[in-house]
Structure 1
Amino acid sequence: MAEVEYWPQGARCVALLTVNLDADQFWLGMFPDSINRPKTLSMGGYGIKRGLDRVLRTFEEYNIKTTFFVPGKVAENYPEAIEKIIGYQHELAVHGHTHTSMHLLTADQQLEEMEKAKEAIRKISGIVPVGFRAPEGELTLETLKLAKQCGFKYSSSLYGDDRPYTIFLENGTITEIPMHWELHDFPYFAFNYGPAFPSGQGRVASYYQVTRTYQREFDGYYQYGLAYVAQFTPQTIGSPGKIKILEDVLQYITQSENLWIGTCSDLVDRSLVIKKEIF
């Protein structure tokens, strides 16, 4: 029996197959000295040059529109990638500007990150993004207030539920679309010797087990009528072998009846927000 009955079009369950287009900015934001590490940066470049096209073609094969969270610097440095995403009619949302972890920044610096990224995407696409996902790393208590101040109507940055909920802030409200690490490909596959990432150096996961994790989690979300929020990163999922993980996951979930799949902004616009939380 589903827990909720108010998803778009009366669906039993919703699925958001989101993409983090970090490119080389992930490494520059997490490890600034990567500017002098061409091997490290090349992994992010691979996501733009090779992985992105495979991801876009896979979504097109299943007629899926989703949300791409993009750092402003990536939009500035790779405008042709942004044009491709727009061409496939996906949503563009903000993923920081330099992909620097928000907890390392002052409030003014955080707001500057959001505003610069928002403007970079608007300048290239003509679209004003309405969504925000904090870069990997921690937030501060002010981050969501600043996101609201910057004009975002939703965030997808926290892990506190498996349904969207309203966060009440001092300056208004914002909708949170929560996610979970087990539905993020990057922690399973990202690896680098120097700078060491992850610091313990444990990688790379079994393709089969990762595929089954995405599928098994979907079974639970579908059973209880929740919001399945997956994350994919072109520099990892976009390799010739790993793209089949995405293909297999999409094939698996699209066989389900009464499932709604769409963008984050469409979900926020068309769903009843089911939980309220004070921030």
Structure 2
Amino acid sequence: MKLERPVWPEGKKCAVSITVNLNGELFWLQLDPTCVNMPKTLSLGQYGMNRGLDRIIDILDNRNIKATFFTPGWIAENYTEKVKNVINHGHEIGALGYKHENMALLNTQEQKTAIKRGIDAIKINCGVVPTGFRSPEGELTLDTLRSAKELGLNYSSNLCDDDRPYKKNLGNDMEIIEIPIHWVNYDLPYFAFNYHPAFPAGQGRIANYTGVLSNWEDEFDGCREYGLCYVLQLDPAAIGAPGRIGMLEDLLDHIQQYDDVWFATGNEICNYCNETL
């Protein structure tokens, strides 16, 4: 049963979860596999892992905020020290498939294999076992969520049907905690740009920074007013640029002016929901 107005720990008024998608160059490879021979396009994602990620970690450290970093298995294999550094700073690692698969284009067994391969790669290379799941950009199916649950993942952060965590009925007496997300609180749709492969397809985007920050602040203010769960999605290649990283600082300053906000990782929200829902 969904909560009408969530009750948060210690009488907090709302919840905030900072999440980071460690896509690296996989976003572009999924868009067009021939990008493997396009070093300029690949460098767009590599920048996030090589430069932007450390800036995010520094800002979170300075504010004593723990975040959830959703990580494809391929990233765990190819940027192992970067992912281990995330862990060493006390952050959660979540599962993000293996190589940025579009789950809806795969059959059930292929989806399950990709998710398991991603979990195993994180465990083998980084020494932790994820408990949460986010699907890469692109659609997913109920079988995706069933596979995630069957593989030991306790929560999903994929759907857009609420702004409160809830128990998602997957059928067959199976449930998973869902922590909903919304495109407006994701940096990549505002800032991702490339000529070839063209993204966005019609071109004409890199958004105004002040406008995006205003969107994020307004969404937080609404979540706080109604006692909801504000989930921010970040890609280090987008937010990690020198001119954009200040947006994250400004947003966190705006949120932290209030002392009634519960900052929580996905796993912390999941555990709390399992106790209270």
TM-score (ref. length: structure 1): 0.95
2:187 alignment partner in structure 1:
185
CA deviations over 1:19-72 (Å, ceiling 9, x no partner): 001001111122211101110000111001100010100111111001000111
Equivalent residue runs for 1:12-31 within 5 Å: 12-31=13-32
Q: Which amino acid aligns with 1:135?
A: P
- Output the CA distance in 1 between the equivalents of 2:201 and 2:54: 30
Cα gap change, 1:272 to 1:132, in 2 (>3 Å): closer
The answer for unaligned runs of 5 or more in structure 2 is: none
CA deviations over 1:94-116 (Å, ceiling 9, x no partner): 11111021111111111011001
- Does the 8 Å contact 1:13/1:222 carry over to 2? yes
- Output the CA distance in 1 between the equivalents of 2:97 and 2:28: 13
1:196 alignment partner in structure 2:
198
Equivalent residue runs for 1:225-264 within 5 Å: 225-264=227-266
2:50 alignment partner in structure 1:
49
Question: What's the CA shift for 1:215?
Answer: 0.3
Cα gap change, 1:168 to 1:211, in 2 (>3 Å): same
- Output the CA distance in 2 between the equivalents of 1:139 and 1:273: 27
1:121 aligns to 2:157 (yes or no): no
The answer for unaligned runs of 5 or more in structure 1 is: none
Question: What's the CA shift for 1:274?
Answer: 7.9
1:97 alignment partner in structure 2:
98
- Does the 8 Å contact 2:31/2:197 carry over to 1? no
- The secondary structure found in structure 2 opposite 1:157 is coil
Question: What's the CA shift for 1:273?
Answer: 7.8
Cα gap change, 1:211 to 1:217, in 2 (>3 Å): same
- Output the CA distance in 2 between the equivalents of 1:112 and 1:202: 37
1:223 alignment partner in structure 2:
225
Q: Which amino acid aligns with 1:13?
A: C
- Output the CA distance in 1 between the equivalents of 2:98 and 2:274: 31
2:141 alignment partner in structure 1:
140
- Output the CA distance in 2 between the equivalents of 1:188 and 1:65: 24
Question: What's the CA shift for 1:9?
Answer: 2.1
- The secondary structure found in structure 2 opposite 1:73 is helix
Q: Which amino acid aligns with 1:127?
A: V
1:73 alignment partner in structure 2:
74
Compute the RMSD of aligned alpha carbons. 1.5
1:152 alignment partner in structure 2:
153
- Does the 8 Å contact 1:165/1:274 carry over to 2? no
Cα gap change, 1:125 to 1:83, in 2 (>3 Å): same
Equivalent residue runs for 1:1-16 within 5 Å: 4-16=5-17
- Does the 8 Å contact 2:76/2:126 carry over to 1? no
Identity %: 47
Which has the larger displacement, 224-233 or 139-148? 139-148
1:175 alignment partner in structure 2:
177
- The secondary structure found in structure 1 opposite 2:138 is coil
Equivalent residue runs for 1:52-63 within 5 Å: 52-63=53-64
- Does the 8 Å contact 1:6/1:271 carry over to 2? no
- The secondary structure found in structure 2 opposite 1:45 is helix
1:38 alignment partner in structure 2:
39
Cα gap change, 1:136 to 1:197, in 2 (>3 Å): same
- Output the CA distance in 1 between the equivalents of 2:208 and 2:274: 37
- Does the 8 Å contact 1:145/1:171 carry over to 2? no
Which has the larger displacement, 215-224 or 5-14? 5-14
Count of aligned pairs between the two proteins: 274
Question: Which ranges of 4 or more aligned residues in structure 1 deviate by more than 4 Å?
Answer: 272-275
Q: Which amino acid aligns with 1:187?
A: P
- Output the CA distance in 2 between the equivalents of 1:6 and 1:69: 26
Question: What's the CA shift for 1:188?
Answer: 0.2
- Does the 8 Å contact 2:45/2:237 carry over to 1? yes
- Does the 8 Å contact 1:7/1:271 carry over to 2? no
Question: What's the CA shift for 1:239?
Answer: 0.5
CA deviations over 1:112-136 (Å, ceiling 9, x no partner): 1100110111112221101000101
CA deviations over 1:156-193 (Å, ceiling 9, x no partner): 01100000110122252100000000000000000010
